[in-house]
């Protein structure tokens, strides 16, 4: 927890960033997920959401700042506006616009699908991003590549498998995962993805509706990649509503092969959960690998 002097220093930095006075009238601890601590700081006219972590993790916040800024500039879907990031008293911090959230409905779910489709139409001539970032607290390498299969093999699936091996998970998992990773071209015989701007970590806990009914996404792990990876992750951990998927497909139809590839793409996130949170995810990862290998054989 920061002391009062630290909070006043952050308030001064916010003043410089927004170019108007800002004095803190209230500080409230709020949910920040399982990685960061978080606070809502309130002033007379403005409120801000602040994430805190250890000072050496400042690059994680700087990358999140950059991702939110890049999504903002597309004018496709609302994200919390990034204000500033920095280090104070052994803490890294990230200051964001505070958005009051509310319950969604079928109309807002449809709008979310349409706006995500618009975001995915923003492209680059390469896969990756201009900087590395994190998926949760795991490093995510984004070296630019013109080959999606190579990028996914080495920077996504292969990276997680190597981490699982380092963490001493079962040799069967590692060996079958490597066999799958060497056979990825099977899933792309009639499909060549374009490098779309991705949220990168789009599960149901990272999307909501503002009090004015606007879809909002947050906590991104941005890069340019196959848009199917974002849609696949929306189906993990509860999924989104049918209104969302119908609106997305009406705006930007998915390739028929998505129904198989979504397991490949979600394997990355389940392996990441295995490496972050432990062996309870090992059998799920193994089942996903086995089902994908069964498609090949």
Question: pLDDT tens-digit profile of 18-63?
Answer: 999 999 999 999 987 778 999 999 998 899 999 999 999 999 999 9
What is this structure's pTM? 0.95
Residue that has been written with the tokens 């498998």 in this structure: 161
Average pLDDT (93-102) is 95
162: its two tokens: 């190597």
Least confident among 116-120, 172-176, 208-212, 280-284: 208-212
61: its two tokens: 């916040």
276: its two tokens: 């972050």
**Domains in the chain: boundaries:** 4-97, 105-296
4-97, CATH topology level: Phosphorylase Kinase; domain 1 (3.30.200)
pLDDT at 127 over 80: yes
Exactly one of 6, 132, 185, 201 is catalytic; name it: 201
**Has 146 been annotated as catalytic?**
no
Q: CA separation (Å) from 117 to 111, 128, 235, 241, 250?
A: 10, 19, 16, 15, 9
Mean pLDDT over the full length of the chain: 96
Residue 216 has what pLDDT?
A: 97
**What is the distance in angstroms between the CA of the first residue and the CA of the last residue of the chain?**
54
Architecture of domain 105-296: Alpha-Beta Complex (3.90)
Average pLDDT (4-18) is 95
User: In angstroms, rounded to a whole number, what is the distance separating the alpha carbons of residues 208 and 217?
Assistant: 6
Residue 158 has what pLDDT?
A: 98
């Amino acid at each position: 927890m920061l002391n009062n002097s630290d909070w006043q220093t952050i308030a001064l930095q916010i003043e410089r960033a927004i170019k108007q006075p800002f004095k803190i009238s209230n500080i409230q601890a709020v949910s920040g997920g399982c990685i960061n601590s978080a606070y809502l700081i309130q002033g007379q006219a403005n409120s801000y959401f602040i994430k805190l972590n250890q000072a050496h993790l400042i690059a994680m916040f700087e990358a999140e700042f950059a991702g939110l800024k890049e999504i903002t500039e597309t004018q496709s879907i609302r994200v919390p506006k990034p204000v500033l990031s920095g280090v104070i008293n052994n803490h890294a911090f990230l200051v964001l616009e505070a958005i009051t959230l509310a319950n969604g409905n079928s109309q807002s779910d449809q709008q979310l699908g349409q706006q995500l489709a618009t975001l995915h139409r923003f492209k680059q001539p390469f896969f990756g991003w201009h900087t590395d970032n994190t998926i949760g607290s795991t490093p995510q390498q984004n070296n630019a590549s013109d080959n999606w299969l190579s990028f996914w093999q080495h920077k996504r699936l292969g990276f997680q498998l190597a981490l699982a091996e380092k963490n001493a998970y079962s040799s069967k998992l590692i060996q079958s995962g490597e066999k799958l990773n060497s056979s990825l071209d099977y899933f792309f015989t009639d499909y060549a993805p374009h490098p779309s701007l991705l949220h990168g970590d789009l599960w149901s806990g990272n999307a909501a509706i503002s009090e004015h009914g606007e879809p909002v996404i947050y906590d991104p792990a941005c890069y340019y990649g196959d848009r199917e990876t974002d849609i696949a992750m929306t189906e993990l951990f509860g999924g989104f509503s049918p209104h969302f998927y119908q609106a997305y497909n009406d705006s930007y139809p998915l390739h028929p092969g998505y129904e198989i590839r979504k397991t490949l793409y979600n394997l990355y996130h389940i392996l990441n959960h295995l490496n972050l949170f432990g062996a309870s995810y090992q059998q799920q990862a193994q089942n996903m690998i086995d089902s994908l290998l069964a498609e090949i054989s």
